[in-house]
Structure 1
Amino acid sequence: MPNIKSQKDRVVQSKKEAAHNKAIKSNLKTVVKKADAAISAGAADMNDKVKIAASAIDKAASKGVLHKNTASRKVARLAKAAHKAAQ
């Protein structure tokens, strides 16, 4: 445990931020899994699910939870899979 007050505050703050980031990542995984399931099933609402997933990924990147290149790669792979399934 730190002795300096500012460091004590940082410990609390970092735990809070880690919990927040974990919740966002968990939600991302859920949304991406739903999109993947819709793609593999060829569901009618596939494009909507992919759009929702891409939006969530981009939002996470803008908040700093994901690196922008990681987010871009994930969105590109989702779009590629959706395009391939549509044909």
Structure 2
Amino acid sequence: MPNIKSAKKRMRSSEGRRIGNLAVKTRVRSARRKAREALEAGVAETAGVAVREYSSVLDKAVKRGVVTKNTAIRRKKRATEALRKLEA
């Protein structure tokens, strides 16, 4: 346990940030799973909606600083490519 006042405050604030980041990461994983399942199901309409939702969630995670920009771009690109392959 910290003895210094600023260290105690830092511990409280980092715990709050950890919980917030955990919520965002969970949201990203759920959207990713839904997109993957929709793509595997082979229905282009539902897959398109799921991929758009996944892209939106990734962008919000980048804005919060939970996921880096390049990681989000790479994941969105792969999901979009899978969607295009399904539509073709």
TM-score by length of 1: 0.94
Q: Distance in 2 between matches of 1:73 and 1:18?
A: 24
Amino acid at match of 1:28: V
Residue correspondences, number: 87
Q: Distance in 2 between matches of 1:67 and 1:84?
A: 26
Aligned match of 2:20: 20
Aligned match of 1:30: 30
Aligned match of 1:8: 8
Using the TM superposition, give the Cα deviation of residue 40 of structure 1 relative to its aligned residue in structure 2, in angstroms.
1.1
Q: Distance in 1 between matches of 2:13 and 2:68?
A: 21
Q: Distance in 1 between matches of 2:5 and 2:71?
A: 36
Q: Distance in 2 between matches of 1:80 and 1:5?
A: 51
Using the TM superposition, give the Cα deviation of residue 54 of structure 1 relative to its aligned residue in structure 2, in angstroms.
0.3
Where do 5+ consecutive residues of structure 2 fail to align?
A: none
Aligned match of 1:56: 57
Q: Distance in 1 between matches of 2:72 and 2:23?
A: 17
Q: Distance in 2 between matches of 1:75 and 1:62?
A: 15
RMSD between aligned residues: 0.9
2:75 is the counterpart of 1:74: yes
Where do 5+ consecutive residues of structure 1 fail to align?
A: none
Give runs of ≥4 in structure 1 deviating > 3 Å: none
TM-score by length of 2: 0.93
